[in-house]
Structure 1
């Protein structure tokens, strides 16, 4: 019903601004629009993979599913995904722009890349009040089947103890069951942010150290917190934490997320038994 209600507007629009290009919902919308200007606005790490796949002419597949065999739903949806990729490829009739804070090693021919520097966020909010302790940022790597749940919990516990963390900012996809167990076994205060973490950190109060695993925030938080004394520290993912079902590309992709981050302190993977 929603797509049908938007069809008329999409056909008439000269410019369409969209978020996650891997979303099947977004890909369906792309097959309807005839806009001459397409703008992808996304600060997620998936943007790095999207740009690389577009540059190589590959089908659009999220990194944590890369390497697996397409399922029945993937095969049924393949024509839509292929059509969406073609729409996201610049041509004489269409321009494509990507607005993102993510680093991009491969840029597709004809695509305009505009860097999101978080200047508006810095001008609008803060600087924040900084506390003496540390805060931790959660990840959905367990929910996506990449990292083992027990290994992840032990890693969080070890990091919190080593750095004196008191709060855990949950990722929107983290399950309530996992977060409850994490709070009970680590003593961390679990916070479900109602705003993007970059805004919360900029408004404060925020810990002097922000601990994270490889994720979007290791790229965005240093930009949002430029000019403050807050240090962003990222902990590498130990290969032993990966599940049997993890994509063959998982370790390399996660290492790349950390390795390309600017102004972060890199921590070795903590022991998780």
Structure 2
């Protein structure tokens, strides 16, 4: 489906598993002038190959295919791997990438918590490692790296490690050590998230979504409000009934008419939202930053604590769109939610720049 790297191997290998990760690799490449000027032939020195470790979720796959087209338009090679296409798929994927991993000088990754990425890190000899945003998880990754902790997603912390966690622990440990800078290896975090402090030697560079703003928009702005969905119900953090009530209250209070679904939201939940709130459910075919920049988009964008409260103000800089974030009321959390969930979500909201902060809507429920 895609070009293969030459015998010498690419200068830079980037591994992505979600559309947002791929978008942020494009932003990183743009900021490092690795792209190809519009209308010109691909630059042979660009040396970036994007490897898509494809998930099984149809929505995510569809968005990834659209993002892969944009990457090819920029002159980059894209290698699509059916990394989860059966029990033997990981062996074929890792085996097929081993030679490229050993030759690449730089590895760019979107999710250092991914077991797949951690396994690939145990193979590479690259002297330069770059982590691009995988949403708010980047904040937790940097904090865990600074504390020397094992790499665990924030919504899973607090529970006992499972059997697979224990078996994979040696590989995860190697990955954590590889992501720790040494005299021979550099580590960069390319992020739009608010990262106040970083581990010694880790270089933090800013993602201001300059590629997105250069390629798309400015958008046509409508008079109403749009609401951004979240997968906090699907990850077991927020109770589904409380979430539906909050969406109802927010949409009524602010006159929202459209609900932009997160790619991980279940069909059943979205159907219930449509029936009980009357909102038009939109399932975007690209990351929301690109959808909003292309327009049309509401004058107000309502969101719960999530990555977009940090990224949308950057992508929409220079427009009249206002981003408003609604706090998560502690009573919405499930019994199985991580002990750190409330503090983490509050931190996501509290550190967002250029957004209007709304109090939790529990009083209106």
TM-score (norm. length: structure 1): 0.98
Q: Does 1:56 align with 2:147?
A: yes
2:218 is aligned, of 124, 127, 146, to 127
SS of 1:234's equivalent in the other structure is strand
Match of 2:337 in 1: 246
Q: Does 1:224 align with 2:335?
A: no
- State the Cα RMSD in Å: 0.9
Match of 2:228 in 1: 137
Match of 1:38 in 2: 129
| Structure 1 runs, 4 residues or longer, greater than 3 Å off | none
SS of 2:361's equivalent in the other structure is coil
Give the alignment of 1:91-106 within 5 angstroms: 91-106=182-197
Per-residue CA distance 1:95-135 (angstroms, 9 max, x = gap) = 11111101112301101111001112112211111000000
In 2, Cα distance between the equivalents of 1:268 and 1:15?
Answer: 43
Per-residue CA distance 1:194-251 (angstroms, 9 max, x = gap) = 1111111011000000000000000000001111110000000000000000000000
In 2, Cα distance between the equivalents of 1:126 and 1:142?
Answer: 32
Match of 2:243 in 1: 152
> Cα offset for 1:42?
1.3
Whether the aligned pair in 2 keeps the contact of 1:43 and 1:102 (CA below 8 Å) is: no
SS of 1:20's equivalent in the other structure is coil
2:303 is aligned, of 212, 231, 242, to 212
Match of 1:113 in 2: 204
The number of equivalent residue pairs is 273
TM-score (norm. length: structure 2): 0.74
Match of 2:161 in 1: 70
> Cα offset for 1:144?
0.5
What are structure 1's unaligned runs of at least 5 residues? none
SS of 1:113's equivalent in the other structure is strand
Per-residue CA distance 1:32-53 (angstroms, 9 max, x = gap) = 1010011111151000000000
Match of 2:276 in 1: 185
Whether the aligned pair in 2 keeps the contact of 1:52 and 1:105 (CA below 8 Å) is: no
Larger RCO, structures 1/2 (Cα 8 Å, 6+ apart) = 1
In 2, Cα distance between the equivalents of 1:177 and 1:24?
Answer: 29
SS of 1:198's equivalent in the other structure is helix
> Cα offset for 1:170?
0.7
> Cα offset for 1:139?
0.4
1:257 is aligned, of 321, 341, 348, to 348
SS of 1:154's equivalent in the other structure is helix
In 2, Cα distance between the equivalents of 1:106 and 1:52?
Answer: 8
In 2, Cα distance between the equivalents of 1:138 and 1:36?
Answer: 39
Whether the aligned pair in 2 keeps the contact of 1:43 and 1:101 (CA below 8 Å) is: no
In 1, Cα distance between the equivalents of 2:286 and 2:349?
Answer: 24
In 2, Cα distance between the equivalents of 1:45 and 1:201?
Answer: 19
2:111 is aligned, of 11, 14, 20, to 20
Whether the aligned pair in 1 keeps the contact of 2:110 and 2:134 (CA below 8 Å) is: no
> Cα offset for 1:67?
1.4
In 2, Cα distance between the equivalents of 1:262 and 1:133?
Answer: 22
In 1, Cα distance between the equivalents of 2:157 and 2:265?
Answer: 21
